[in-house]
Amino acid sequence: MPNELLADLKQTKPYKTVAQEAHISIARTAAVLGHAFEETLKPFGITSTQYNVLRILRGAGADGLCRNDIRERMVTPVPDVTRLLDRLEDMALITRARGVSDRRHMTARITKDGLRLLDRVDQPVLDSHERLLGHVSERDVRTLLTLLAKVRHPA
């Protein structure tokens, strides 16, 4: 049976190890899923990174979170969370306020506009997940989740 990954990438030389092939396959799959996810969000005027921050802040509730707490919870880390928060604030999707006891501490909170945007985005995102993974059985998806966790957290 021909190697589907080699065919997808129009390569003819086999991989040196199965670990190399797995790494490239994970990267390729992440790129395919990431691109499709960005296309889902494009009509709403936000990126997947901005969406991630908005979801984090929605989950934080009225208390909000500081920049470092947001950074720790992000699916894909970014080098400059401050600039990301600046853009979301410029879009009126979040607000930031300085702490009373420590003026250096800034707390970010999602705005009503941010919540309304997420309400509009939630179903298209779920539809996207189903479109991209719905052809795989639930059992196989659970196996995939277990394997990916093993890759992220070696014993």
Give domain limits for the chain: 1-44, 46-124
Residue 1: which pLDDT band, with cuts at 50, 70 and 90?
A: very low
What are the start-end ranges of the E strands in the chain?
A: 65-66, 94-98, 106-110
104 vs 109, which has greater pLDDT? Answer: 109
Distance CA 88, CA 45 (A): 11
Q: Is the dihedral of CA 118, 122, 128, 134 positive or negative?
A: positive
How far is it, in rounded angstroms, from Cα 81 to Cα 111? Answer: 18
Query: What average pLDDT does the segment 98-120 reach?
Result: 87
CATH 1.10.10.10 fits domain 46-124: yes
Look at residue 75 in the predicted model and tell me its pLDDT: 94
- What is the share, in percent, of the chain residues with pLDDT greater than 90? 76
Mean pLDDT of all residues belonging to the chain: 91
- pLDDT tens digit sequence for 27-62: 999 999 999 999 999 999 999 999 999 999 999 999
Other Cβ atoms less than 10 A from the Cβ of 42: the count is: 10
Cβ neighbors of 41 (< 8 A, separation 6 or more) are: 47, 48, 51, 121, 125
Residue 27 in tokens = 């990267």
Q: Taking residues 77-104, what's their average pLDDT?
A: 88
The C-alpha atoms of residue 67 and residue 123 are separated, in whole angstroms, by 28
Q: Does the pLDDT value for residue 114 go beyond 80? A: yes
Q: Where are the beta strands (DSSP E) in 9-62?
A: none
> Does the pLDDT of residue 8 top 90, yes or no?
no
Mean pLDDT over residues 129-145, rounded? 95
Tokens, residue 19: 């670990």
- Band (pLDDT 50/70/90 cuts) for residue 106 is confident
What's the token pair of residue 108?
Answer: 């970010």
